[in-house]
Amino acid sequence: MTISKRVLIMIPAYNEAKAIDFLVREINRLYPSFDIVVINDGSTDATEQLAESAGANVITLPINLGIGGAIQTGFRYAAEEDYDCTVQVDGDAQHDPASLLNVVNPIINDQVDLCIGSRFLAEGSGFKSTYMRRIGIRFFARLLGNLTGIPLTDPTAGYRATGKKLIKEFANYYPIDFPEPEAIKIAQRFRARITEVPVKMRKRLGGISSIRYFSTIYYMIKVTFAILLDCLKKSK
Amino acid sequence: MQAKYFAIFVAVSIFLFVVELIRKQKMTFRYSVFWLSACVFVLLFSIADHLLIPTAHFFGFTLPSNFVFFLVQVFFLFLSLFLTLYINEQNNRTDTLIQQVGILQFRVKQLEKEKGDGPPTPETN
């Protein structure tokens, strides 16, 4: 398969020294034609050095911004460098690079503008998450499904690819904390074509889920509020 | 009668203090407008204090003092709202700067690598 479009793999990483080296080398081996940028979100460990020595470009933020700020940095860089497609892969190596083309191909073939990798669509998916997390995922799937008319199974997933049109918009504005569900609503406001594809998830190699730091209740209220408020914004 | 002069004194003092801060460039006009207009408002009501009771009655306050307290509360409410707004604005700007600094640092590093001589060492300077 020949890929003429330029693809940027964005890996947000905060203290992911345990996983980053392995992840970057794995992606480089599987997809040598794709560029990798690790957004080192003010890590205090050796994430930067390890990612660099593994062969990735590393953008180091001087201050920790959180996942939203890190991803937005990636979008900014992608917009400046005029990439056709970005893929977000979590720095803890939970997102299996074997599924990368599943999310990238619909963008490269210009079928959709936002392609979300769903761990629940994969056949025989043995992925288990906590009970609260599952409730949250189902809640947002239904809320976003009702608001956007797009059937979703995994709206909180970070494993997703974005096309050129949305890269520009996300470079300008991206939600700060817990950005994933809100980003779907924003994408829909920009009349993006959105779809879900099956992806494989692995056990995390290191790091701590950003969600564990906050109470799930706060997460639910904040994101619901943000999504509902986005409905009040003018669609483009 | 004494309360009237006290109010005038306080309003004038704050007004002059704010003007002095602007003169020393410690405050910009944008952020002082709120304070200056509050001072002018207090001054007007202190000088024309016969207007206070009818105005209070007009807005449904039996006691003029309650009316004054209410206005003070409204003032601080809006002040804190604006301050929240400014903090947010600053936050967004800082975030953007952090992101741009990160990208710029990366580009500088790349350029240095391309030149092949790496970052300048202190000895050569």
Q: What is the mean pLDDT of each run of 10 residues along chain A (236 residues)?
A: 80 92 94 95 93 94 94 97 95 90 94 92 66 83 91 90 95 90 93 92 65 69 90 81
A42: left (phi over 0), alpha (psi -120 to 50) or beta: left
Residues of A in contact with B108 (CB under 8 A): none
Q: How far is A67 from chain B (nearest CA, A)?
A: 12
- In 3D, which of A15, A54, A17 has the Cα closest to residue A37? A54
Q: How far is B78 from chain A (nearest CA, A)?
A: 23
DSSP string, B49-91: GGGHHHHHHHTT-SSHHHHHHHHHHHHHHHHHHHHHHHHHHHH
The shortest CB-CB distance from A69 to any of B95, B105, B110 is to B95
Give pLDDT, residue A214. 55
Beta bridge partners of A58: A38
Residue A65 makes CB contacts below 8 A (sequence gap 6+) with A41, A42, A73, A176, B95, B98, B99
Give pLDDT, residue A205. 61
Q: How far is B99 from chain A (nearest CA, A)?
A: 5
pLDDT of residue B117 exceeding 90, the answer is no
Radius of gyration of chain B (CA): 26
Residues of A in contact with B100 (CB under 8 A): 76
Pairing state between β A160-163 and A114-118: antiparallel
Q: Which of B93, B94, B97, B98 to mutate to test the interface with A (most CBs of A within 10 A)?
A: B98
State the average pLDDT over residues B49-61: 90
Q: How far apart are CA A79 and CA B19, in angstroms?
A: 45
Q: Which residues of B touch A (CB under 8 A)?
A: 94-95, 98-103, 105-106, 110
DSSP 8-state assignment for residue A120:
T
- In 3D, which of A51, A94, A111 has the Cα closest to residue A207? A94
Give pLDDT, residue B125. 41
Mapped onto helix, strand or coil, the DSSP state of residue A118 is strand
Q: How far is A162 from chain B (nearest CA, A)?
A: 19
Buried b (16+ CB within 10 A) or exposed e, B37-64: ebbeebbebbeeeeebeeebeeeebeeb
| Cβ contact, residue pair A65, B95, below 8 Å | yes
- What backbone phi and psi angles, to 5 degrees, belong to B61? -95, 125
| Cβ contact, residue pair A73, B110, below 8 Å | no
Count CB neighbours of B77 within 10 A.
Answer: 10
Question: How many residue pairs bridge chain A and chain B with CB atoms within 8 Å of each other?
Answer: 38
Whose structure tokens read 């609260």?
A132
Tokens read off for A10: 């964005």
Mapped onto helix, strand or coil, the DSSP state of residue A205 is coil
Given a contact cutoff of 8 angstroms between Cβ atoms, the answer to whether A35 and A10 are in contact is no
Count CB neighbours of A211 within 10 A.
Answer: 17
Buried b (16+ CB within 10 A) or exposed e, A145-177: eeebebebbbbbbbbbbbbbebbbbbbeebbbb
Residues of A in contact with B106 (CB under 8 A): 57-60, 77
B74-78, B96-100, B115-119: range with lowest mean pLDDT: B115-119
State the average pLDDT over residues B65-78: 93
| Cβ contact, residue pair A59, B101, below 8 Å | no
Give pLDDT, residue B124. 44
What percent of chain B lies above the pLDDT cut of 70?
92
Evaluate the CA torsion angle A56, A57, A60, A64 in order and state its sign.
negative
| Cβ contact, residue pair A57, B110, below 8 Å | yes
Q: How far apart are CA B90 and CA B103, in angstroms?
A: 20
Q: What pLDDT band is residue B112 in, cutting at 50, 70 and 90?
A: very high
Give pLDDT, residue A180. 92
